[in-house]
Amino acid sequence: MLQLDLKTLSVAIRFLWAKSPEQRAAVDLDNGHPLLRECIGPNTRRAILYQEYVKGISATGMQPNYGFEGQLNACWTHKMTRTEIELIRSAGFLVSVIHGRHDTIAEIYYARRLAKKPHLVARMIELHGGHLVSHERTEEGQG
Predicted structure pTM score: 0.57
Q: Please give the pLDDT value at position 41.
A: 93
DSSP state of 102: T
Length of the chain: 143
Predicted confidence pLDDT, tens digits, the chain (143 residues) = 455 667 777 777 887 888 899 998 888 787 666 778 889 999 998 899 899 989 988 998 887 767 767 776 776 666 778 888 888 888 888 888 888 888 777 778 888 988 888 777 788 988 887 776 766 666 665 55
List the chain domain ranges.
6-141
Q: Alpha helix (H) ranges present in 18-81?
A: 21-28, 45-60, 65-77
Q: For residue 51, what pLDDT is reported?
A: 93
Distance of CA 70 to the CA centre of its chain: 13
Residues facing 98 on adjacent strands: 125
Q: Which of 23, 32, 30 is nearest to 62 (CA)?
A: 23
**121 and 95 in contact (C-beta within 8 Å)?**
yes
CA atoms within 13 A on the CB side of 139: 0
Contact call for residues 78 and 109 (beta carbons, < 8 A): no
Q: CA angle 80-143-49, nearest 5°?
A: 80
